[in-house]
Each structure stands twice: as C-alpha cells, then as structure tokens.
Amino acid sequence: MVSGEGAEKTPLVSLIAGGTAGGVEATITYPFEFAKTRVQLHDDSPTKNPFKVIKAVIEKEGPRSLYKGCETLVAGTILKDAIRFISFDSIKAAFKDPETGTLSPLRNLLAGISAGVVASTFAVTPTERIKTALIDDARHDKRFTSPWHATKTLIAEHGLTKALYRGYVTTTLKQASTTAVRLGTYNTLKDFERLRDIPQTTATTFANGAVAGTIVVFVTQPFDTLKTRAQSVRGAGVKEAFTSVITDYGVKGLWRGSTMRLGRTVLAGGILFTTYEWVAALIQPVLDKKLLPKRSE
C-alpha cells in the first residue's frame, strides 16, 4: 500500500522524492535510452528491437559501453525530476478545485507544460546535450574520456551557450510536452481513482505510471527524435534536424526509436511514480514532526 497518498506534499518532500525517483529510474533504464539514442543518430542497425541493439553493442564494444553518458543522464535526471515535481506539485496546489481537491484535464496539462519548461531550462537541455554528444562520439571519434572532458571540450570549441544549450528549442518542446502528458495523465488517473475510492496500492501506482509512459511515447516521439539530432556532436538547428530526419527516413523517421523508448518509458513511468510516492510517504511524516513545533511557536 502506498501510504500518505492523499496527503498534501510540501515543496521539500516533492524536491527530495522527485530527485530520488529520477535517479533510480534513470540508472535502471539507461541501456534502453542508450539503444534509442544510437538508432536516432544514423545508426546502421536495421533492427528496432532494443534487446538486439543492446546485445550488438555488448558484443562489439563491451558491456560498459551501454552506460556511456549514464553519469550525466542520472545527474541531470535527479535535478530534472526534483525541479519538475516541485514545480508541478506547487502549480497543481494553486490550480486545484478547492472543493474536490482535483484539477481539470486542461489545468493538469498547463501545470505539466509549465513544469517541463522550467526543468528544460535549468536541468534537461545541458545534461541531455552532453549525454547525446558522448553517445554520438563513442560511435566513431572517441574523443571524450568523461562527461566533464566532453563538457570542457565542447565549451572550448563552441562557447558556453552553444555547447550546453544546443537544441534548447527541441528539448524544451519535448520536455514540456512529455511533462504535460506524463504528469497530466498520471494526475488525472489518480483524481479519477480518488473520486471513486479506488485504493492507491503500489500496483495501482505502477500501472498508472506505465499508462502515462505509453501515451507519452507516441505523442512526443517526434520532439525526441529532433532533439537527438540537434544535440549530436555536430549539432543542428530545428529546421536542419527536421530536414535530415525526413531525408534519411521519411516522415516515419520522426518516430524512429519509439519502440526502444517505449520499452524504457513504460518501465520508467512505473518506477518513477512508484518510487516518488514511496519516498514521499516515507519522509513526509518525518518532516512534519520536525516542522510542527516551529509552526506552533
């Protein structure tokens, strides 16, 4: 049972629970992210099966290659999810209906978009840029020895803004839409279940997260594909990224890597929200006890 489900989460709880959930999810599911990024970066492999791509990488480059760029993604995901959960929960608290305590689908969507823009600006774009550059570099040049080395090299070659904020528009489009759909869907499902007194068990939370993750993939995949092209080592603008994908694969190319992303996102959605609710339920009572004396003074 996920206890404390109906309790109002404080900003500190949202920050800690969101960051912890993001780190756990990113570490467990990173091989799927690696395989998806490889396919989107002109990879020659015709297969769409993530397990076959992972197997091929292990055979050719060794198992450690599957976690190339992982440190950057995990660090970025911890920061990203901490920011977007605290943003979403804060906005949600301001937007909710005072009588029912729920949000309309439109307000859920707007809260998610707002949280996604904030997360993209302060966390996602820089870390996704370095992660993508590391995976791209590992295919051929192998210039970068670590995330820090890649960051320093790219800044020296392109300047701070172009090095870390390459692909900001496509990343923000992807992040805003992903956050809006994922958190909006998840919160709508929770509100639906709460109004009908459906128990919020661990299985229910995982299932809600998985459903939200499935919807996310098919709605936002074109933004993800363009983001990956824009943030490769060579880099590209939105128009150039779009043109290159259409030239290489046609319109269907905008959904390239969706099978691999689906595998990761469905699993990630379940892990993310389950971990978030667990951690929030664990630390909320502890923080409440520490803060209550101060509140009463």
**Ordered DSSP codes for the chain:** --TTTTSPPPHHHHHHHHHHHHHHHHHHHHHHHHHHHHHHTT-------HHHHHHHHHHHH-GGGGGTTHHHHHHHHHHHHHHHHHHHHHHHHHHS-TTT----HHHHHHHHHHHHHHHIIIIIHHHHHHHHHHHHHHHTT---SSHHHHHHHHHHHH-HHHHHSTTHHHHHHHHHHHHHHHHHHHHHHHHHHHHTT----HHHHHHHHHHHHHHHHHHHHHHHHHHHHHTSSS---HHHHHHHHHHHH-GGGGGTTHHHHHHHHHHHHHHHHHHHHHHHHHHHHHHHHHHHHHHH-
Quote the pLDDT of residue 234: 66
Position 1 in a domain: no
Q: How confident is the model at residue 2 (pLDDT cuts 50, 70, 90)?
A: very low
**Residues across the chain:** 297
Mean pLDDT (whole number) for 47-61: 76
Contact by Cβ (8 Å): 9, 281: no
Quote the pLDDT of residue 269: 81
Query: Rounded to an integer, what distance in angstroms lies between the CA atom of residue 22 and that of residue 14?
Result: 12
Higher pLDDT, 100 or 2: 100
pLDDT in tens, 190-206: 888 888 888 888 889 89
pLDDT in tens, 82-115: 887 888 888 877 777 777 777 777 887 888 888 8
Query: Lowest mean pLDDT: which of 107-111, 172-176, 216-220?
Result: 107-111
Burial of 99 from C-beta contacts in 10 A (0-12 / 13-18 / 19+)? exposed
CATH assignment at residue 42: 1.50.40.10
Position 3 in a domain: no
Q: How many domains does the chain have?
A: 1
Q: How confident is the model at residue 297 (pLDDT cuts 50, 70, 90)?
A: very low
Is residue 184 scored above 90 in pLDDT?
no
Is residue 44 scored above 90 in pLDDT?
no
Position 94 in a domain: yes
Q: Scan for tokens 């599957």, then name that residue.
A: 66
Domain residue limits at 174: 11-292
Position 271 in a domain: yes
Q: How confident is the model at residue 275 (pLDDT cuts 50, 70, 90)?
A: very high
Q: How crowded is the C-beta side of 223, counted as CA atoms within 13 Å?
A: 17
Quote the pLDDT of residue 48: 61
Is residue 219 scored above 60 in pLDDT?
yes
Q: How confident is the model at residue 50 (pLDDT cuts 50, 70, 90)?
A: low
Query: Tokens at residue 3, please?
Result: 């206890």
- To 10 degrees, what angle do helices 168-195 and 238-249 make? 80
Q: How crowded is the C-beta side of 274, counted as CA atoms within 13 Å?
A: 21
Residue from 200, 196, 187 nearest 93 by CA: 187
